[in-house]
């Protein structure tokens, strides 16, 4: 085979400290290896030599080359098979592979590319052409290594973000437990009836809150509120509002006052809502507002005095199954100053019950986007007329899941169910 003469080389144009530093020359011809090695060393490259594919793989495993120059036709393992097996070796950094061949047919070139070769040089090898191919290989390797570094940095960033997310998720799980703990009792049997509570956030934490508290010996207070927005800031707002309607600390409950006997008794619910409105606007630095329904039930008579501030209408289901939904509506709390809030009243007879819901129920969307609405709620309550207490609220969630087509509701869902039995005549 003819040997190309050593062409003069301009060393100033050659790579200096580039991406290709170590070259592996593979050829069963010692003379061919020496000629290539001589040129490469003159250009400043570190050169390793192998006379067979097996020896080349061993050297590559010990010290991975940046460039492989391999003859195609060799006894035993061909350059094509060497290229294929070299590509199977693990390693993040890419190595450029040039096959040295006298083959120029398109099918043969395609076969080489398919085996993982990057480029071809026709024998006899021209030094200027070799130099140009090495320069092209360096550009490819530099791009590939830049990508590896970028991917590594991205992986590290993603790992840090995942750790941050895991920490936040863990904190939110704890926050969910704390928020759920605000509703300490989900059911209480009173002398004249039963109170059942439901609180289910659409995310880890939410802006809904329901509760009840003793309002002196003759009354029980019920409240349901829904803070605008979702997530942590809404949940923090509900936690703060829970302190203003506390069942554990009546002296801090803004809905109670003392009578001349020193007993805690209910205040007018519309006045309480007005005070909360002023408190939010004047003392809380927040953009949140909330809807609220506050009710006081007179235990002996079933008479209820309520104030509604943008919350959905309460639904009363009579003992005969008839359903009534009414209320003045009103403005949300913390939205506008100088707003007056209305008071209204209703009476429960033994066997009647009142359901106070957040808009996460009435505005729950179905598969076509239509909301459940008050009419759908009436149908639901009619279907569950014989279901009582916590079982009713569980069935409510089940029916909402059926209607929505998913257990993942777009909004928080909360409810209070008060079932009035009246005093025992005995």
d(C-alpha 123, C-alpha 119), whole Å: 13
Give the SS3 label for residue 46.
strand
For residues 76-80, average pLDDT: 92
Give the SS3 label for residue 185.
coil
**pLDDT higher than threshold 50 for residue 90:** yes
**pLDDT higher than threshold 80 for residue 131:** yes
From residue 392, how far is each of 102, 193, 326 by CA, in Å?
A: 85, 15, 21
Give the SS3 label for residue 263.
coil
Output Rg (C-alpha) for the chain, integer angstroms: 40
Structure tokens at 363: 């505005």
**pLDDT higher than threshold 60 for residue 6:** no
Record the pTM: 0.65
For residues 380-395, average pLDDT: 96
Structure tokens at 183: 């509703």
**pLDDT higher than threshold 80 for residue 153:** yes
From residue 410, how far is each of 174, 200, 323, 376, 405 by CA, in Å?
A: 22, 11, 26, 18, 12
Q: What is the pLDDT, as a whole number, of residue 424?
A: 67
Q: What is the pLDDT, as a whole number, of residue 174?
A: 66
Backbone angles phi, psi at 352, to 5 degrees: -80, 160
Q: Options 3.40.50.2300, 3.40.50.300, 3.30.9.100, 3.30.390.30; which CATH number does 11-150 get? A: 3.40.50.2300
Domain boundaries, the chain: 11-150, 182-420
CATH topology for 182-420 is Phosphatase 2c; domain 1 (3.60.40)
Question: CB of 414 within 8 A of CB of 202?
Answer: no
Lowest mean pLDDT among 40-49, 73-82, 196-205, 286-295: 196-205
Lowest mean pLDDT among 5-9, 222-226, 361-365: 5-9
pLDDT in tens, 304-334: 999 999 999 999 999 999 999 999 999 999 9
pLDDT in tens, 352-382: 999 999 999 999 999 888 999 999 999 999 9
Q: What is the pLDDT, as a whole number, of residue 172?
A: 59
Please name which of 176, 185, 251 lies closest in space to residue 208, comparing C-alpha atoms. Answer: 176
What is the phi-psi region of residue 373: left when phi exceeds 0, alpha when psi lies from -120 to 50, beta otherwise?
A: left
């Amino acid at each position: 085979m003819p040997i190309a003469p050593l062409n003069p080389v301009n060393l100033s144009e050659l790579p200096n400290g580039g991406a290709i530093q170590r070259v592996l020359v593979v050829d069963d011809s010692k003379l061919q290896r020496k000629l290539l090695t001589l040129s490469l060393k003159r250009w400043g490259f570190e050169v390793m030599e192998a006379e067979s594919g097996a020896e080349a793989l061993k050297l590559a495993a010990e010290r991975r080359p940046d460039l492989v120059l391999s003859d195609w036709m060799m006894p035993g393992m061909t350059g094509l098979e060497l290229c294929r097996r070299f590509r199977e070796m693990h390693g993040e950094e890419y190595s450029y592979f040039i096959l040295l061949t006298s083959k120029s047919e398109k099918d043969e070139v395609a076969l080489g590319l398919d085996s993982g070769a990057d480029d071809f040089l026709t024998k006899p090898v021209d030094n200027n052409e070799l130099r140009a191919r090495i320069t092209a290989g360096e550009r490819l390797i530099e791009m590939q290594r830049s990508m590896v570094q970028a991917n590594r940095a991205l992986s590290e960033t993603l790992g840090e973000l995942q750790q941050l997310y895991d920490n936040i998720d863990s904190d939110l799980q704890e926050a969910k437990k704390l928020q759920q703990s605000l509703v300490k009792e989900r059911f209480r049997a009173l002398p004249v009836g039963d109170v059942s509570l439901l609180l289910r956030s659409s995310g880890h934490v939410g802006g809904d809150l329901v509760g009840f508290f003793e309002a002196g010996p003759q009354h029980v207070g019920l409240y349901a509120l829904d803070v605008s927005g979702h997530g942590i800031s809404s949940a923090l707002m509900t936690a703060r509002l829970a302190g203003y309607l506390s069942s554990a600390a009546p002296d801090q409950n803004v809905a109670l006052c003392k009578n001349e006997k020193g007993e805690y008794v209910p205040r007018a619910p519309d006045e309480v809502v007005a005070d909360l409105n002023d408190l939010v606007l004047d003392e809380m630095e927040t953009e949140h507002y909330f809807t609220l329904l506050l009710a006081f039930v007179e235990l002996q008579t079933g008479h209820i005095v309520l104030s509604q501030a943008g919350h959905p209408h309460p639904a009363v289901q009579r003992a005969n199954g008839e359903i009534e939904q009414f209320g003045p509506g009103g403005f949300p709390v913390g939205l506008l100053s100088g707003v007056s809030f209305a008071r209204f009243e209703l009476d429960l007879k033994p066997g009647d019950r009142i359901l106070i819901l957040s808009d996460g129920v009435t505005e729950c969307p179905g598969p076509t986007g239509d909301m459940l609405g008050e009419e759908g709620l009436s149908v639901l309550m009619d279907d569950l007329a014989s279901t009582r207490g916590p079982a009713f609220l569980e069935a409510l969630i089940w029916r909402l899941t059926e209607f929505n087509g998913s257990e993942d509701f777009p909004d928080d869902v909360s409810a209070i169910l008060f079932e009035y039995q009246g005093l025992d005549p005995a």
